[in-house]
Structure 1
Amino acid sequence: MIGKIFPKSTGSFENRIKYIFGLSKHDHAISLIKTVGGNFFARDPLPEIQTGNKDEIKAVISEFDEVEKLRKSSIDSNQDIKPVFHAMLSLRPGEKLTKIQWDNAIKKYMRDLGFTGTNKYVAVLHEDTDHQHVHIVANRIRLEDGFRMTSDSNERKKNVNSVSEIEDEYCLHKAPKPTETWGTAITHAEMQSAIANNDLPFKHKMIAKIAGAIEKTTEHSGDMFMFVRLLRQQKVYIHLTKDENGQPKGVTFEHNGKLISGRQLKRSRLTWQKLTTQEGIEYDPETISELEAEIARRIEGEYEVTTVRTRYYVFVASRRRIYISFKSKEEEIQDIINALLQILLLLFGIIFIPEESPKGTWYQRYTPGKPFTPTFQNPQP
């Protein structure tokens, strides 16, 4: 099951109620619909609608709209509110619930989202597609003293948890959770496609793969080389666009011949800049040639994760401070620091104390096995 909450709106319930009862344009046939839940006092308008009489729906719309009018006459408030709530619960192809099961599932869903018996709601089942889905329209204003609004705080999380429990109760296929799509909303069209194909949409599948590679890379304090190799294990490949200095400025991801840019996937996390700053994946501009060679590889195979990254240390003795950067695996750090301390002792005749230092100042680079030269670099923060 997939639960989708549509944007809330102000004003009349007319458009939403007419929509769920099939009186406005749909993306599927609307002959097989049933009213499966609700707590309104007006007669169920569906039998009259199916005979061609569209007047009965007006009483339902009026009943929902009247609540806000009562609220305005009861309390002195000019606060803008959005009372119109619309959600949809969709099953996978081949899965079905009875009318009673739908009624129970909807009541649970409404309770889980914070609605009470004083919130007007109506639920209509659509069965014209290859998957059952229910539309729920509810009034967030409670018909009680004070006319409180049902809170939408943590609404998305409540939606996911409620749907998951309904799936468990009725042994339904488990839908992907936001952790698998990295918090990216699924559009209505994508949701319909995902249900039909019994698979995640391409965009969300890519985000799940890339997010896993990022998490594993950062867990091991890895660099861009590790990230590329972890992606390659999942048959995801990257393409770089470069600036006038020959350095990466953009990244595009490829899977099964399809391409999509990091900006299109999630601009707040998957652009080149965000990967190397916000996500903390180490990249050394001097390694661009080696990185491009690594990116060009398409050979499959297991990649043993090693903790290799650039370290930035300041060695302090009295008022003297020497900044040195070096690359190492986690288990090699202490050996390299000991070697550097010996070198500094020989050069200056004094004992230095090492401290890990943030980027942003001038560093000498040390490469084990090569001469220690006073070549200075200024890594970007």
Structure 2
Amino acid sequence: MIGKIFPKSSGSFKGRIRYIFGCTKHDHEITGILTIDSNCLSPDPLPGILAGCEDDVLEMVKEFDSVEMMRRMTIDSEKAIKPVFHAMLSLRPGESLTPSQWRSAVRKYLNDLGFDETNQYVAVMHQDKDHQHVHIVANRIHLDDNFSMVKDSNERAVSMDSVSEIEDRFGLSKAPRPKDTWGVSITHAELQASLKDDELPFKHRMIAKIAGAIEATNAVDGDMFTFTRLLRKQKVFIHLTLNEEGQPKGISFEFDGKHISGRQLKRSRLTWHKLITQEGIQYDPETIHELQEEIARRDSEEQKRARIYFFEFSNRSKRLYIRFTAKQIEVFKLIEEILAIIDKIFGGGFKAKESKPVRHYIDFIPGRPLIIENELDLFEPGA
């Protein structure tokens, strides 16, 4: 389950209440609507809406709005307030709760956030293709003698804890903790996409990976080289933008073929400047060339799983040895390409066979320059 609190607002409840009852256009398909719970005196608007009449919706809106009017008449204060509270609880695809279970979940959630029986609320379930979610609209004004407001300090942390307890109560799959995204909010569209894909949105997965690498780097008092290697283990690669002096001025991150800048991810923490001045990632400007080489080493983790192969390429008069550090399937593909090149340059008749290690060879690692060991004259005489 994912819990999302939408920005609170002042003014009338009309827009939110009409939205949750399906009276306005949605950004997702709704295959069913069901009123889960309400403590309002006005009747359930849904039957009237299905019959094409919004009278009961407007009656409910009037009931919500009247509390703020009474508060203004009772309390002599010019302080602006935001009484409109709107939250959503979303299940993962394939999971569902009964109306009774949803009612219990909604009441627990509101109670955990500080709402009580003196706060008006209404909860409506939307069936969105293959997953359920419930919208909750509540009045933050207590309908009592003081017309006090439900406090919203630390509400997002409270919301996460409440959702986790609801998951435990009903045996729901545990959602990734939003704290891993360093407080970057998830848009409604991203939320819907993540539910369908059964994972956090790309931006938030990136932040979680980078945050973990920063924490691990700091734990060992590491530097930008350490940070780069830790990211590479997670298949996250760094790209630097250099200034006129050849020093980094910007940083972007690549994962699964997608690129995003540190500024776009989290401007207050993941720009190049913030990483080295605020997040404690040490960087020596004198090491820029070595750092660029380290950043370019994308294949290091793959090479750990690779083997070393020696192959002899020979015809009747010439013999050449190449050492490959790669996976077997890569080696076989490379051999075919090398044979074709050698045949074009030196004529046909070359064959390749695996050999024992030799002293003189060309060292070939995919993605790196060729290295000639022991100043080899490329071809030795054939046997």
The two structures have a TM-score, normalised by structure 1, of 0.78
Instruction: State whether residues 31 and 129 of structure 2, in contact with CA within 8 Å, keep that contact through their aligned partners in structure 1.
Output: no
- Is 2:196 aligned against 1:224? no
- Is 2:181 aligned against 1:187? no
Report the number of matched residues.
304
What root-mean-square deviation, in Å, do the aligned CA atoms of Structure 1 and Structure 2 show?
Answer: 1.4
The residue that corresponds to 1:129 in the other structure is 129
Instruction: State whether residues 251 and 261 of structure 1, in contact with CA within 8 Å, keep that contact through their aligned partners in structure 2.
Output: yes
The residue that corresponds to 1:95 in the other structure is 95
Letter in 2 for 1:66: S
Q: Matches of 1:271 and 1:38 in 2, distance apart?
A: 46
Q: Matches of 1:250 and 1:131 in 2, distance apart?
A: 41
SS in 2 for 1:36: strand
The residue that corresponds to 1:338 in the other structure is none
1:300 deviation in Å? 3.6
The residue that corresponds to 1:45 in the other structure is 45
Letter in 1 for 2:45: P
CA gap of 1:128–1:211, structure 2 versus 1, over 3 A, is closer
Counterpart mapping for 1:121-160 below 5 A: 121-160=121-160
Q: Matches of 2:93 and 2:153 in 1, distance apart?
A: 32
Higher Rg: 2
Instruction: State whether residues 33 and 128 of structure 1, in contact with CA within 8 Å, keep that contact through their aligned partners in structure 2.
Output: no
Instruction: State whether residues 28 and 129 of structure 1, in contact with CA within 8 Å, keep that contact through their aligned partners in structure 2.
Output: no
Instruction: State whether residues 32 and 128 of structure 2, in contact with CA within 8 Å, keep that contact through their aligned partners in structure 1.
Output: yes
Instruction: State whether residues 233 and 302 of structure 1, in contact with CA within 8 Å, keep that contact through their aligned partners in structure 2.
Output: no
1:14 deviation in Å? 0.6
1:179 deviation in Å? 2.6
Which whole-Å deviations, capped at 9, do the CAs of 1:142-173 have from their partners, x for residues lacking one? Answer: 00011000100111111100001001111111
CA gap of 1:232–1:31, structure 2 versus 1, over 3 A, is closer
Identity of aligned residues (%): 64
Unaligned runs of 5+ in 1: 304-381
Counterpart mapping for 1:347-362 below 5 A: none
Which whole-Å deviations, capped at 9, do the CAs of 1:19-69 have from their partners, x for residues lacking one? Answer: 000001112334510100110001111111111111121111111011011
Unaligned runs of 5+ in 2: 304-383
Counterpart mapping for 1:229-308 below 5 A: 229-301=229-301
Q: Matches of 1:119 and 1:134 in 2, distance apart?
A: 18
Q: Matches of 1:8 and 1:221 in 2, distance apart?
A: 42
Query: Which 10-residue stretch deviates more, 201-210 or 23-32?
Result: 23-32
SS in 2 for 1:141: coil
SS in 2 for 1:289: helix
Instruction: State whether residues 121 and 139 of structure 1, in contact with CA within 8 Å, keep that contact through their aligned partners in structure 2.
Output: yes
Which whole-Å deviations, capped at 9, do the CAs of 1:64-102 have from their partners, x for residues lacking one? Answer: 011011111111111100000000000000000000000
SS in 2 for 1:56: helix
Q: Matches of 2:194 and 2:29 in 1, distance apart?
A: 19
Instruction: State whether residues 262 and 270 of structure 1, in contact with CA within 8 Å, keep that contact through their aligned partners in structure 2.
Output: yes
CA gap of 1:128–1:220, structure 2 versus 1, over 3 A, is closer
The residue that corresponds to 1:162 in the other structure is 162
Q: Matches of 1:95 and 1:65 in 2, distance apart?
A: 35
SS in 1 for 2:131: coil
The residue that corresponds to 1:198 in the other structure is 198
Q: Matches of 1:8 and 1:90 in 2, distance apart?
A: 19
CA gap of 1:31–1:302, structure 2 versus 1, over 3 A, is closer
Q: Matches of 1:68 and 1:256 in 2, distance apart?
A: 50
The two structures have a TM-score, normalised by structure 2, of 0.78
Q: Matches of 1:27 and 1:224 in 2, distance apart?
A: 42
1:129 deviation in Å? 2.5
CA gap of 1:78–1:244, structure 2 versus 1, over 3 A, is same
Instruction: State whether residues 240 and 249 of structure 1, in contact with CA within 8 Å, keep that contact through their aligned partners in structure 2.
Output: yes
Q: Matches of 2:178 and 2:101 in 1, distance apart?
A: 26
Q: Matches of 2:296 and 2:103 in 1, distance apart?
A: 55
1:302 deviation in Å? 9.5
Letter in 1 for 2:196: A
Letter in 1 for 2:130: D
SS in 2 for 1:263: helix
Instruction: State whether residues 233 and 300 of structure 1, in contact with CA within 8 Å, keep that contact through their aligned partners in structure 2.
Output: no
Q: Matches of 2:191 and 2:265 in 1, distance apart?
A: 16
CA gap of 1:258–1:302, structure 2 versus 1, over 3 A, is closer
Letter in 2 for 1:98: T
- Is 2:13 aligned against 1:13? yes
